[in-house]
A and B are shown apart, each in its own frame.
Chain A
Amino acid sequence: KAGVTQTPRYLIKTRGQQVTLSCSPISGHRSVSWYQQTPGQGLQFLFEYFSETQRNKGNFPGRFSGRQFSNSRSEMNVSTLELGDSALYLCASSPDGQVGTEAFFGQGTRLTVV
């Protein structure tokens, strides 16, 4: 069974630009969560989608948004990029059930904002 796939692996963007990251969950998993990982703040929850609906959201500004498609694939978008958005963005998929249980992570997308 294929794992969680995130693309691209690396991105370099300029301040003010926007970026879209993609996540393909494990086959059969309908819950997709996104996390931001930085050395200073650690792993922080962004949002979670289940059956194309956002079920839960973390404490991030509205510049961070996401969506989920009917095949469970998910995208997250960050608009008006700031230097502080430089981070590893991780996607995790979970089988049906309680949010976050048995969450399997992808390798992440390393975003650098210059």
Chain B
Amino acid sequence: KNEVEQSPQNLTAQEGEFITINCSYSVGISALHWLQQHPGGGIVSLFMLSSGKKKHGRLIATINIQEKHSSLHITASHPRDSAVYICAVNAGGTSYGKLTFGQGTILTVHP
């Protein structure tokens, strides 16, 4: 079993829909990251969370440390949101800054 699991693996939505991507992890962490990877391949960091909730524009990320679960929400989705969304964690202990990744969620938003 992977240390970081995402669901769903694929997600198709119509423009304007509210989207939720889930991430569960099995290790102790110091932080959780949500990353976005566009078809061109580049990776952009969206959020880094260690507790609570963060919001940036139409994106909201939440984390529940006790349940080892995080969600990424996209409100009023748009075709430009189509990308792969990747959950990653900084594991606790002496892991320094390295990231352990989920398998990614492929999001397609249709106009």
Partners in one complex: no
Chain B residues close to A by CB (< 8 Å): none
